[in-house]
Structure 1
Amino acid sequence: MSEHRVASIMCRDIPTLAPDTPIRRAIAILLDAEASVAPVIGEDGELVGVLTQKDCFRPALHASYHQEWTGQVADQMSREVVSVDVSDDVIRIAEMFLAHPHRAFPVMEGAKVVGLVRRSDVLSLLLRVG
Structure 2
Amino acid sequence: MKSVKVSDYMNRHPVVFTSQLAVEAAVERLLQSRQRGGPVIDAERNVIGFLSEQDCIAALLKGVYHQEQTATVADCMFHPVLTVNEDDAIVDLAERMTLEKPKIYPVLNHSQQLVGIITRTDVLRALDIHLHDGYPKH
Give deviations 1:50-100, integer Å, cap 9, x for gaps.
101011111111233234332100010011100000000001100111111
**1:41-120 residue pairs with structure 2 within 5 A?**
41-109=41-109, 110-120=111-121
1:34 maps to: 34
Distance (Å, rounded) in 1 between the aligned partners of 2:89 and 2:46: 23
Distance (Å, rounded) in 1 between the aligned partners of 2:77 and 2:27: 12
Q: Does the CA contact (< 8 Å) of 1:59 and 1:69 recur in 2?
A: no
Distance (Å, rounded) in 2 between the aligned partners of 1:117 and 1:71: 27
- Over the residues paired in the alignment, what is the CA RMSD in angstroms? 1.1
**Looking at CA atoms only, which structure, 1 or 2, has the larger radius of gyration?**
2
* Letter aligned with residue 22 of structure 1: A
Distance (Å, rounded) in 2 between the aligned partners of 1:13 and 1:42: 16
Unaligned runs of 5+ in 1: none
Distance (Å, rounded) in 2 between the aligned partners of 1:15 and 1:116: 9
Report the number of matched residues. Answer: 130
2:6 maps to: 6
State the TM-score, normalizing by the size of structure 2.
0.89
* Letter aligned with residue 38 of structure 1: G
Unaligned runs of 5+ in 2: 132-138
Runs (4 or more) in structure 1 with deviation over 3 Å come to: none
